[in-house]
Structure 1
Amino acid sequence: MDFIISNEQLEQWCSYSPEELKKRKDLNADLRVRSESRQFYREVADLMAEELLANNAKGAATRWIVPAGPIDQWDYFIERVHREQISLKNLWIFMMDEYLDWESRLIPEDAPYGSLHAVMKKNVFSKIDPALMCPAEQIIFPDPRDLDYYDNKIEELGGIDTIWAGIGCKGLIAFCEAPHSRYYRISQEQYRNSKTRIVELNEDTLVALSQRRFGGYYDKIPPKAVTVGMKSILSAKRIVCMLRCGSWKQTVLRVMLLCTETTLEYPVTFAMKYIPEKIVFCDEETLEHPLCKE
């Protein structure tokens, strides 16, 4: 049976002050709090560069799962790549997800909004010196036309080194959201072993994305996506989470740090339990919570 977080547990976790959380020794992850998000994005970039340098020195491949948001860390990473002439030739980049239209087709790259291929090409990949950049075939998006290729390639490469992740309000990683159908059930074991798949976005995700970018204009947000599954996510040796947005992420941060069971309510709990190394960056505002002030 799935573990359900009780109101009493949630209220207890949300009652701790930021200073209490910083001092706790039993958190599920290495918590790194910075005054504002741009400070931790530079630190994340340094972690990226150091891992790449270490693997390059061993002649080993580096295997990442990365989001198309947040991407602020990439500018700092690219600065360092160019300054130190760090080669990305042995880097494999597995993008977490891609939007789909209502018919489960990819959004054209020249569309005004919705193509994560276009976002990454414009804001990240095109900024990297081609002489240092990894081959195009080592940048892999989940593809609705060949759902098995993504997971098979990760398995062939021996799993993932690090996932660089933003986390949603209800604990999504990529578009691995809480199952929401009233007509069928998914067990924890099924979810833990879930593969790349096509999903309909949960309503809270549509609300968040439309509010953040289009003033609540829901029709601007593609209703579906193709996403990495939890099986490939949990093959990682490390996950580095980046949380900002203040009140939108304050409760899920507490769940990530303090919930010791896995729950389909908050899929990120699977990563907190099963990935060996967990680092969580957040800003001071996101560490706050209204319940800790009562």
Structure 2
Amino acid sequence: MDKAYYHISEAQLGEGAKIPLVKMESSEAVFRKMADMMADCILENNAAGRRTVFICPVGPVGQYPFFVERVNKERISLKNVWFFNMDEYLNDDGSYIDAASPLSFRGFMDRVVYTQIDPELVMPPEQRVFPDPADPARGDRMIEELGGVDIAFGGIGITGHLAFNEPQPELSCEEFAALPTRMLDIHAETRATNSVGDLGGALECMPKRCITIGMKQILSAKKIRLGVFRDWHRAVVRRAAYGDRTADFPATLAQTHPDAMILINDVASKQPY
């Protein structure tokens, strides 16, 4: 069935959107903006003597080199900063995939972020938190104890998923929005899309299980900032911002968040068809 929002032109995109859309000229502009949001929030909180708590993705990832550059150049202390990563792939038995795997989000954060920041500035390891398959609720408890999340950063998946919160159309929006951190099966569409981007299409090598931070933790953040930049995001961003609010397309739940925003590059802004 055809949907009118897929025919919103690039020029009209953003008009009447249920989530504010910011169109930018390039992927670099999107990533630099996300990096600046991270650094500026930390600087503001450091100056006020407050901690900073982020939910962080590994996808998009283009913001991290720009963030690392600012931290090192401006000597921004991360000692009072907590990064809660959104998710991680699991083996079939529910254990983490090896951190040395090119698919591992834990390995990525170590290689590209934590080891690239001056040791005098980087936060201690206990403030670099991944969802734990041995205790999925641990991160949720920590976030609550820290007083909540300043900004939840992320992208939007092909099924509309935020982190790995895959659609569950059998749930109401309220039920879906209350889901905590948990382990789950990754939808076939997500595995196929990720295999193209990460493994050159080697679908049989993609993990089938994951652990993901909950929709409750994402939607409870003071701010939500999502970046989209791929050609298939043309349709995804239009449904997220103009479609019905539904657990069948999780990003639509951000429509009622008091401070959500989607940053869009020149590719994702174009009309899908």
Q: TM-score range by the shorter chain?
A: over 0.9
- TM-score between the two structures when normalised by the length of structure 2: 0.95
Match of 2:270 in 1: 288
Which residue matches 2:211?
226
What percent of counterpart residues are identical?
Answer: 35
User: After TM superposition, which residue ranges in structure 1, 4 or more long, deviate above 4 angstroms?
Assistant: none
For residues 224-263 of structure 1, what are the alpha-carbon distances to aligned partners after superposition, in whole Å with 9 as ceiling and x for unaligned? 00001111111101111110111x111110122223x420
Question: What is the CA distance between 1:170 and its match in structure 2?
Answer: 1.8
Deviation at 1:82, TM superposition (A): 1.2
What is the SS of the residue equivalent to 1:225?
Answer: strand
1:252 to 229, 236, 259: 236
Match of 2:254 in 1: 271
For 1:3, the equivalent position in structure 2 comes to: none
The alignment yields a C-alpha RMSD, in angstroms, of 1.5
1:127 paired residue number: 116
Secondary structure, counterpart of 2:11 in structure 1:
helix
Do the aligned partners of 2:103 and 2:198 also contact (CA within 8 Å) in 1?
Answer: no
What is the Cα deviation at residue 189 of structure 1?
2.6
- Residue 213 of structure 1: how far off its partner (Å): 2.4
Work out the CA distance in 2 between the residues paired with 1:283 and 1:171.
18
Pick aligned residue for 1:61 from 32, 47, 51: 51
1:197-229 deviation line (CA, Å, top 9, x unaligned): 001100000100111222321122111000011
**Aligned-residue offset at 1:156:** 1.1
What TM-score do the two structures reach when normalised by structure 1?
Answer: 0.89
Paired with 1:271 and 1:256, the residues of 2 have a C-alpha distance of: 8
Contact 2:172 2:246 (C-alpha < 8 Å) held by counterparts: no
Gaps of 5+ in 1: 1-6
- The DSSP-based 3-state class of the residue aligned with 1:18 is coil
Question: Does structure 2 retain, via aligned residues, the 8 Å contact 1:250–1:289?
Answer: yes
**5+ long unaligned stretches in structure 2:** none
Q: 1:146 to 1:263 in 2, by over 3 A?
A: same
Distance 1:94 1:213, change over 3 A: same
SS in 1 for 2:168: coil
Question: Which of these two proteins has the greater Rg computed from alpha carbons?
Answer: 1
